[in-house]
Structure 1
Amino acid sequence: MSPVLEFEKLTWPEIDALKREKTLVFLALSPIEEHGPHLPVGVDFFNAGFFARRTAENLTKERPDLNVLLYPAIPIGANTFRFVGSVWIKIGTLKRMLLEIARSLSRFNFDKIALFSAHGGPFHLLTLEEACFLARRKYGVQMILPGSAATVKFLRGEYQSEIEQALGRKLDEEEKKAFKHDFHAGWWETSMMLLNFPHLVKPEYKKLEPVLVRFRDLRTNAIPKLGKGEGYMGSPARATKEFADATTRIFFRLGQIVLLKLADGQNTDQETKSILSKIIRWKFWLLRGVAILAAALILFFILRSTLH
């Protein structure tokens, strides 16, 4: 049996025969969202599936003792741009779905789960991180988002030197500027589609003019107003397969480190917690404090009414 297994194609005895301590479950999910006039609405979904499968293959090649269960990819996510072709759901719905899956898997002692998402919406990533946090607290499941910290850094243009090393050359000043402002259906995502799904890329991408915005100006309702209102932010015309290959090698290397730690039961907080994690912790302790205060007040009034 191959070490990379598709969950939905197995029988229950085949699933049950897997050694739990040597099995990781990979779940790819990303929303359906518009990606300009040159890319299909399934870009994030396709890329998430690509990263999950290729990472599974790389991981089991390095560690033949491991098995990876590929859970069926789910075309769902939150915090998409409000544009024709985009489908968005409430973050609460997304979180509940992930927790239900984690709970179900935990009942059969599959307690190592890695989420893969190629959608960079901040509230989407925040929700995935929160689901991971709650899965650990509620069900004892080590559910992680290996690419969370890396995705946020990538969107902020913080991997320039690593990309230059992977490309074997320096980025020129125009490329540096383009990379720093490449957020949606631009240089990177068009490159990824050229690498993996070239038949889905419209040739018109070569003629699209750059639409450069600042990270802090990203909003779900902003994209129809940018450039010519064609639904992209970045420089699609710069796209090449070589750029995609260079960046994926970086992501695979970073992901491999995290997943080997997960497989061996080690702490992965340093590699998986993005700046968004601070928001989750603050929210959790605030809600917990409010709950304790409310309980104390209720108890106070009950005792008071009893004494009187």
Structure 2
Amino acid sequence: MAIETEWMRLTAEELRARAAEDALVIIPVASLEQHGPHMATGVDIILATGVAARTAAGIAAAGAPVVVTPCVWTGLAEHHMEFGGTVTLDFGSFSGVLRGVVKSAARNGFRRVMLLNGHGGNSEAVMVAASEFTIEFGIKVAAGTYWHMVPEVIAPILEKQPGLMHACEAETSMMLALRPDSVRMDRLPEAHGPMSTRVAGQPPGLALRRSFRAISKTGVIGDARPATTEKGEALLAAIGEALAGLLLNRALWA
């Protein structure tokens, strides 16, 4: 029988026991926002939750204790607001929500927390938050965006892209695997856009947020047309396995 890893499906007594075992707490972090003409707005929530579950399953299978909280479902998505269908927070509110969840984990006795991010607009913010919380609560708090942490397992599965983008081949494939009812297959032929959010001459190290409306007419970055369920299953398996291996590294938490 698989070991239960969902916080909300465990009793308070069971969670106290996990904390006593020095379980890792994984907090999926996402956003509610437009995902092109072909996908529902909950993509990042579904994918962050799905990736966290696959990661936790790998950690549990290795015999290590782990717990996954419900997803923090809204984040920093101002750059999607012009398309509609998007909910965003300012940085103070977002940081405050994360602080409350991490502080609660610490007060429950947990000493290791992973902010597992599934939305590009949150990438820098979760890293800043993790650093602050480590000092503030005296526990180990790590943070990362899943496709930034394990890009080497994502690229070989894709046909048209060098990595995960937005409402793209990768995200659409994983949605087909996890929630196919949230993909409008009849709109897939329209689901493509530029291959970068950066203008010519802008290096990856130079950040300048722009509205996605100004970058992509469809709201897509990348090309979703080659997406398949099989690619989605392969991506979820590869990402979950790689992240589990990364987070099982005890040197990371020393």
CA contact (8 A) 1:190 1:236 kept: yes
Tell me if 1:12 matches 2:12: yes
The match for 2:180 is 198
SS at match of 2:24: strand
3-state SS of 2:252 partner:
coil
- Contact 1:49–1:116 (8 Å) recurs in 2: no
Task: Describe the SS at the equivalent of 1:211.
Answer: coil
Give the secondary structure class of the aligned counterpart of 1:39.
coil
- The verdict on how the C-alpha distance between 1:21 and 1:236 changes in structure 2, with shifts beyond 3 A counting, is same
Paired amino acid for 2:131: F
Consecutive unaligned residues in structure 1, runs of 5 or more: 270-308
* Structure 2 residue matching 1:190: 3-state secondary structure: helix
Over aligned residue pairs, what C-alpha RMSD do you find? Answer: 2.8
Assess, with a 3 A threshold, how the Cα gap between structure 1 residues 12 and 182 changes in structure 2: closer, same or farther: closer
Shift of 1:240: 1.4
Q: Map 1:148-163; keep pairs closer than 5 Å.
A: 148=145, 151-152=147-148, 159=152, 163=155
Inter-CA distance 128–226: structure 2 relative to 1 (3 Å threshold) = closer
In the alignment, is the contact (CA less than 8 A) between 1:5 and 1:70 conserved in 2?
A: yes
After superposition, residues 278-293 of structure 1 pair within 5 angstroms as none
**C-alpha distance 22-182 of structure 1, shift in aligned 2 (>3 A):** closer
Q: How big is the shift at 1:18?
A: 3.0
Give the greater-gyration-radius structure (CA).
1
Q: Provide the secondary structure at the position in 2 that maps to 1:17.
A: helix
1:235 maps to which residue?
A: 223
1: CA distance between counterparts of 2:55 and 2:163? 27
The structure whose residues are more often helix, as a share, is 1
In structure 1, the residue matched to 2:171 is 189
- Post-superposition offset of 1:39: 0.2
What is the match of residue 252 of structure 2? 267
Other-structure match for 1:253: 241
- Partners of 1:180 and 1:18 in 2: how far apart? 39
Which one of 181, 184, 189 corresponds to residue 207 of structure 1? 189
When the two structures are aligned, how many residues end up with a matched partner? 245
The superposition leaves residues 216-256 of structure 1 with CA deviations (integer Å, 9 ceiling, x where unpaired) of 249654322345x2321221111112332333343223312
For residues 113-155 of structure 1, the C-alpha deviation after alignment (integer angstroms, 9 at most, x for no partner) is 122222112xx1111111111111111221212x43x53377x
Spell out the pairing of 1:82-121 with structure 2 (5 A cutoff).
Answer: 82=81, 83-121=83-121
TM-score (norm 2): 0.83
Change (3 A) 1:84 1:96: same
Aligned to 1:35: 35
TM-score by length of 1: 0.70
Once the 2 structures are TM-superposed, how far is the Cα of residue 2 of structure 1 from its aligned partner? 6.0
CA contact (8 A) 1:102 1:141 kept: no
Does structure 2 conserve the Cα–Cα contact (< 8 Å) formed by 1:28 and 1:115? yes
